[in-house]
Each structure stands twice: as C-alpha cells, then as structure tokens.
Amino acid sequence: MKIEAGVPNDWKNITVLSNGFVRLDGCEATDLSVVNSARVSYGMRREEVQLSDEKLISYLMKNKHGTPFEHNMFRFHIKAPIFIFREWQRHRVGSFNELSARYKELEPEWYVPAAVDVRKRVGRPGHYTYERAKTDEAHKFRSSIDMVCRRAFDTYRMALASGIAPELARLCLPVATYSEMYWTVNARSLMNFLNLRNAATAQYEIQQYAIAVEHFFSFKMPVTYKAFIENKRVAP
C-alpha cells in the first residue's frame, strides 16, 4: 500500500497492492454529527466539538450506543482483485455497486503477490501462523499464477472475439482478476469492517485495503477514531 508522505487534507487516493486503489469519492462525516445526534435526546445542539463532547463520544463508543455513529457516510471507489471483493461484500451493512463483465470487457489485469508476500500457512485450525516462502518457491508460485491468468485472458478474449456472450466468456477468468466497485458505508459499519479486516486474523491482502480505508476514517472523524482505538478497535 502506498500513502504519500505528508498527505494533504484533500488527499483522496491510496494505491493498494499491485494495481489497486482506494479512493474517497465522497464523504459527509464529522465528529460533530455524532455529538449532535446523541445530544438531540436532550434537545441540545453544538456548533463545534468541545472537550466534553470528546468524552461523550468515548462514552458512546464504550457503552455500545452505536446509532449516533450512523449519521454520516463515506463513499469509496475501490479497485481490487475479485477474491477481495468476495470477502468485502460479506459486509452487509453498506451499499455496493460493481463493474459488470456483462457490459464491459475486463482489462487483462490480475494480482500476483510480491515475492515477499508469498507465504506458507503452518499450524492447526484456529492456530494458524504464516511464514514467508523460500525465494525459489515464491518465484515458482508467482510465475504459475501469471501463466494461468495470461492463458485465462487469452481464452476470454478469443471467446469474446468469436461472439460468445460476455457473461459466459468471463467464466474462465480467475479470482485474481481486478474489478472495481463503489462502497458507501457509515462510520459504525466501517468500524466493524476495520475491526475484522484490519486485524492480524484477516487475509493480508484485504488488510492492506482496510488500512487504506482506516486512513480516510482517521482523517475525517479524528475524535471518533481515537475513541475506537481506545475501545480496543471494537465497533459500538
């Protein structure tokens, strides 16, 4: 994942993996919205976040008063391999729209892990750990993926050229193929996503995307983010 040093306030795009990105396409999210949606219970409204409001946000987070964290939205444009979208789209609280291979020919772009990211799983179920594959094993694996994906795209393009319907032609494409989607989500659901996907137990590749999402969240809602971290990354 590439984040430019000294990111400006209007920074919007983070490069992830070989060809992917997370781009903040739109955002209506402030700590003040958490404060005011909570304080409406008492008919109160603030113009800006005060010290006592920071305590309130921390209290809401700790005591699982989750609804005040729902009055906001983050709209992300994401490019990632299909296997990552399979995991991501399990997060039901949020909205998704994805590029359609029925309507658009997919670009020959696929994810090949960097040699240092090729890992082996060791241990038993529930207690797995990962260790880096030896250099020659990593290279062999990387070239196999590359070869399979290349062949798959050749077959895909030949099928399209011969008039096979795009929704059938795509059947030969691997889950390493890059796709794009829009994801709109509120802070409460976003924190649940971060808790599960920017975690040591998550697959490394989706974790890289979750780290990018977390950067945007931390910039847009700094007080809420601080409370989330202090609450051991448990969503309210």
Site residues for ligand FAD, window 63-92 (CB under 6 A)?
Answer: 90-92
Per the document, the length of the chain is 236
**Structure tokens of 178?**
């890059």
Site residues for ligand FAD, window 201-220 (CB under 6 A)?
Answer: 201-202
Question: In the annotation, is 197 catalytic?
Answer: yes
* DSSP assignment string, 124-186: -TTS-EEEEPPHHHHHHHHHHHHHHHHHHHHHHHHHHHTT--HHHHGGG--TTBEEEEEEEE-
Establish if 192 lies at the interface with ligand FAD (CB under 6 A): yes
Give the span between the Cα atoms of 141 and 14, in whole angstroms.
27
Nearest residue to ligand FAD, using CB? 92
User: What is the nearest approach in angstroms of ligand FAD to the Cβ of residue 22?
Assistant: 18
Establish if 175 lies at the interface with ligand FAD (CB under 6 A): no
Establish if 233 lies at the interface with ligand FAD (CB under 6 A): no
Site residues for ligand FAD, window 90-129 (CB under 6 A)?
Answer: 90-93
Binding site for ligand FAD (CB under 6 A): 90-93, 189, 192, 196, 201-202
